[in-house]
Amino acid sequence: MPNLDAAGSALSRTSVLCGYWELTKPKVVAAIVFTALVGMVLASDARLPLARMALACVGVWLAAASAAAFNHVLDRGLDAAMVRTRRRPLPSGQLTERAAIVFALVLGSVAILILALGVNVLTAALTLASLIGYSVLYTAWLKPLTPQNIVIGGAAGAAPPVLGWAAVRGGIDADALVLFLIILVWTPPHFWALAIARRGEYVRAGVPMLPVTHGIAFSSDCIVLYSALLAILSVLPFLTGMSGALYLIGSGVLNILFVRQAWRLRALRTPAIAMRTFRFSIQYLLLLFALLVIDHYLPRGHSR
């Protein structure tokens, strides 16, 4: 007869491992590492420093995963109150709070060591500041305090391309800050669209997201304004010479689509359109940064 106890134990271990993996928010972390990698590529004028880039990607991945795990710990009460998050590892009882904290601390410590010893101290310091900014400044303080939480706290999420730039160059210049500004302005409409779609859950959980405190109409107006500002800022890589015509044309198309989607949300204000806007915003950012990389390797990309 099969050993049912052994089978149950194996399933339990698998469940725990899946819980730890979920703590890292792998899809979000993958996007973070991608934007950091774009920063590394754009900062490289000649041959790519592949070994340093690999260490930087590992370090940024571990740090982002650590921040995500801390976010799970700090948001465990909120997650338990919201339908879309109540099955997460902590509110579901899949993992204990202590296990999640230890996991986050280990990931964060290893990340900073890898970056400090294998990349450079500046990248390690900026990564640590981003980790603390997301885990403490945004999640623990700003999120439950003000509807401007994501506007201020978005700086931590906008840091990855700067981290990538610092990893290659050992410093920060205007082009790195342009990448930072693009993500900083992209972040509010991205999260406000989700908050409109999930407004009822945020109301029940008592989180002062903008659609909760100021209503859906005002929030959708803000999304239109921010998408228009984003369209303006996204021209900066071309104006500074970081990118060429391919990026300018491609980003123009993406911005037209984003502003159009924002206007549609403003007109209809339904959860379905809000969720569609949220999902498109993710595609927008990934495609925009992909365009920067492709353009970088065209002849115009090397004439800076």
Chain segment 158-198, per-residue pLDDT in tens:
999 999 999 999 999 999 999 999 999 999 999 999 999 99
Q: Give the pLDDT confidence score for residue 14 in this predicted structure.
A: 75
What does the pLDDT look like over 53-73, one tens digit per residue? 999 999 999 999 999 999 999
The CATH code of the domain at 18-168 is 1.10.357.140
Least confident piece of the model among 9-18, 33-42, 91-100, 142-151:
9-18
Does pLDDT of 5 surpass 80?
A: no
What does the pLDDT look like over 223-250, one tens digit per residue? 999 999 999 999 999 999 999 999 999 9
Q: Give the pLDDT confidence score for residue 9 in this predicted structure.
A: 53
Q: Give the pLDDT confidence score for residue 3 in this predicted structure.
A: 58
Q: Which residues contact residue 35 at a Cβ distance below 8 angstroms, ignoring those fewer than 6 apart?
A: 160, 161, 164, 179, 183, 285, 289
Q: Give the pLDDT confidence score for residue 6 in this predicted structure.
A: 46
Q: Give the pLDDT confidence score for residue 194 in this predicted structure.
A: 96
Does pLDDT of 304 surpass 60?
A: no
Q: Give the pLDDT confidence score for residue 13 in this predicted structure.
A: 66
Q: Give the pLDDT confidence score for residue 137 in this predicted structure.
A: 86
